[in-house]
Structure 1
């Protein structure tokens, strides 16, 4: 029989968002003549991002098992269905600052811990019906790693961890109380001890985890970055004639870690120096934003320079991004930020627009932008440097020329990356 691989993925269509793209594209490009593939995920419920169109990309050969889950946002959705009053129709958003702090302090390892018993029971049942040869658990949520570790302890089925973000030492997470942090460290170490292999989303994250747990990280490791699917970039529009020059910011903006504060401050300073720039520049946010960041943005003195496009399905978001003359992203200079590479950067590369990367020099993101010639890296405290980069963009928005040798893009193709995954599965599971 063909090896049976189970992907343990909480975030799965019809959910949308950046984290969902990884599994969707892997499933799209896997070779089902050599593999039997299942996915264990949750039943449809409240989530800030919905993109049912992604389900169309998943081959019929994939067996999808959906479970219940006791998590706070599913509970909120259930309560809202029972509440017929017109007041307070909007569900709390996971980017809300107080919810993130509550989650960090109360839920261990995360707010999806209520999925644990359902996912584990689903694995055991599936194993009885269709014996499993390997489990790939994607983190976050880190609950998925606990499920995979428990299943390995019970059934000795090899576990492969897909680290998309750091568990401990994550720059985006609120600080945890001391004892809570120690529990997280113990859990992460335990999960690593049960793993036969680990996939890391970038080399910096690999170094980060190995440095924290040198004796617990399994020897079988590989780096498979996020990427882009060439099919998503066919027939996209081009930017309209400038002015105004449109600078796009795609994806989520949190209350900590990736706020484009320097960009807005630089634009504000430029307009004060040269008021005519107010009509020559626009910042286009495409995605979702934390209340904390929105509070800052509301104080921006030139609101007419900002366009807000709430969360859009993936292809529509790319349509909007393609209309921009340049693209920007920010990683703040805080502990752990060196290991963060936002998934949107690979789609920025595929769009072949100049990138304003505001991030710590020497970080994985900075190295990626510099090595590909994709744009300019500005330190998160370099206001003058960013003002200079914006002035250059305004002088000639068409001056940027993507590298002639775009062979580097092949490395970030989802099809190429899925082949890397298949080879790693072969190596770890020995089939």
Structure 2
């Protein structure tokens, strides 16, 4: 059961959260829905929330923005835009120094070294000083009770570290991804004794809690830091609100398969296309059907080369690309589909936030990803899930054909049952218990300090 929204507390008693999220709305980058939802959830639970984030211009000049998402940020939240400068986000060639223009490779190496000198994180390390100053200024004006950093970038953990060291303020580390773990290959990225390893060990050693998006990532870190594993929690992404129920009636004259999400270079769109092409030769129903792809073509503003090459074959295979979709319009897009395509990069630790939203539609889902992905754990008990044993075209084709048959036969009642099953993945069910526990911790600390 989702906890009821508490009665707002008087301003002088509300706990104050300092939330650090480089990619906060209007960013449309990876993880932004989690940062948006988390800040809103704390505000709804009666906290004063101050967000430290990168300037809007950082996103308008690089990844692009979603203003519709920005408009749904709780108006009580104070957003402090902390100056951010990085060569990776400087796309205006007129602002490049002559040394960069004439010797870009050498200049990039030297720039990276400067950034990592402050904090061992490429592109973002140089933000440390500005973040520290901003955190101290916020605390001076409105004392902070808790710091929550959302990474990556991992420099977002710095304000928690600083306020804890100076004032004993507790902090929580929210890993949307992982710092030392490559979630696709499973390899460790930084050797023991490296600057990254030393920083992570110290941060985890002093954290009040550490959040991870799935159990496999938590277990990997628990093996690395067994003495602190009791502070680790899975806080899955979940979905924010159920997509609108569709009143489409699947037709044997042709179905619509849909994909909604970012198509980065790690997403095996080529495997999907190969499997789809083969399935159309085996099934008259699929020969009359089509695929719609919705979303950005990379996390950055430039389409990845792999998808660009594939697009030349789309039209002849009944595949259309419809571009990006704003947050407020996503629910309506799902009503266009009879079945869904969950296409993910390979990796035991890969879940993807979209899997929860997909489940909430109640539509049949074809998983075009390694069966060992963590997304498989989410859908294992779903009534209309069609996974693949491998990424060979023939295997994918079989799953597509089975899902098409299921979509044609799915009744409104069966879809409603599937939607009800997916309510377990509502984001509130993930966040509310954690927020309630943190509120109790803050109240206890206040009572203890008052008694001294």
TM-score surpassing 0.5? yes
Contact kept, 8 Å, 2:175 with 2:210, in 1: the verdict is yes
RMSD: 3.4
Q: Does 1:219 align with 2:219?
A: no
The CA deviation at 1:370 is 1.4
Bigger-Rg structure (1/2)? 2
Q: CA deviation at 1:342?
A: 0.4
Residue of structure 2 in register with 1:71 after alignment: 86
- Which residue of structure 2 lines up, in the alignment, with residue 91 of structure 1? none
Alpha-carbon separation, structure 2, partners of 1:63 and 1:294: 39
Secondary structure in 2 matching 1:169: coil
State the Cα deviation string for residues 189-241 of structure 1 (Å, max 9, x = none).
232123111122121221121123324x35323222112222x6347674785
Q: Deviations over 1:141-196 (max 9, x none)?
A: 11112343233233322110111112222235999987799433333223212311
Q: Cα offset for 1:36? A: 1.9
TM norm structure 1: 0.82
Unpaired segments ≥5 residues, structure 1: 84-98
Provide closer, same or farther for how the CA distance between residues 267 and 424 of structure 1 changes in structure 2, counting only shifts above 3 A.
same
Which residues in structure 2 correspond to 1:95-134 (within 5 Å)? Answer: 108-134=120-146
Rounded to whole Å, the distance in 2 between the matches of 1:239 and 1:112 is: 49
Choose which of 309, 320, 323 in structure 1 pairs with 2:333: 320
**Is residue 249 from structure 1 mapped to residue 262 from structure 2 by the alignment?**
no
TM-superposition CA deviations, 1:91-111 (whole Å, max 9, x none) = xxxxxxxx9xx989x864242
Q: Is the 8 A contact 2:181 2:187 kept in 1?
A: no
Q: What's 2:279 paired with?
A: 270
> In the TM superposition, what are the counterparts of 1:358-373 in structure 2 within 5 Å?
358-373=368-383
Indicate whether 1:282 and 2:291 are aligned: yes
Cα distance 1:47–1:298, how it changes in 2: closer, same or farther (>3 A)? same
Q: 1:143 to 1:151 in 2, by over 3 A?
A: same
Secondary structure of the residue aligned to 2:195 is: helix
Secondary structure of 1:222's aligned partner: strand
Partner Cα separation in structure 2 for residue 103 and residue 375 of structure 1: 44
Contact in 1 for aligned 2:244/2:334 (Cα 8 Å): no
Shift of 1:137: 0.3
Q: Is the 8 A contact 1:369 1:377 kept in 2?
A: no
Does 2:379 align with 1:381?
no
- The aligned counterpart of 2:433 is 420
Match of 2:343 in 1: 330
TM-score by length of 2: 0.78
For residues 271-297 of structure 1, the C-alpha deviation after alignment (integer angstroms, 9 at most, x for no partner) is 456799544332424332452322441
Partner of 1:345: 355
Number of aligned pairs?
405
Distance, in Å, in 1 between the alignment partners of 2:236 and 2:221 is 16
2:365–2:403 contact (8 Å) kept in structure 1: no
| CA separation of 1:173 and 1:244: change in aligned 2, threshold 3 A | same
Q: Secondary structure at the match of 1:5?
A: strand
Contact 2:19 2:149 in 1 (8 A): yes
Structure 1: distance between partners of 2:280 and 2:163: 58
Call closer, same or farther: CA 1:53–1:177 in 2, change over 3 Å: closer
Structure 1 residues 227 and 135: CA distance shift in structure 2, 3 A? same
Whether the 8 Å CA contact 1:248–1:286 is kept in 2: the answer is: no
**2:167 maps to which residue?**
155
Range with bigger deviation, 157-166 or 316-325 = 316-325
Instruction: Show the counterpart of 2:3.
Output: none
- 1:356 equivalent among 356, 363, 366: 366
Q: Give the direction of change, closer, same or farther, for the CA distance of 1:27–1:2 in structure 2 (3 Å limit).
A: same
- Range 114-123 or range 264-273, more displaced: 264-273
- Measured in 2, the distance between the counterparts of 1:245 and 1:128 equals 59
- The answer to whether the Cα contact below 8 Å between 1:250 and 1:287 also exists between their aligned partners in 2 is no
Cα deviations by residue, 1:356-376 (Å, 9 ceiling, x for unpaired) = 113333442112111233411
Partner of 1:50: 65
Structure 2 gaps of 5+ residues are 1-12, 97-107, 445-452
Contact 1:30/1:422 (8 A) holds in 2: yes
1:37–1:242: structure 2 CA closer, same or farther, 3 Å change rule?
Answer: farther
Contact 2:149 2:160 in 1 (8 A): yes
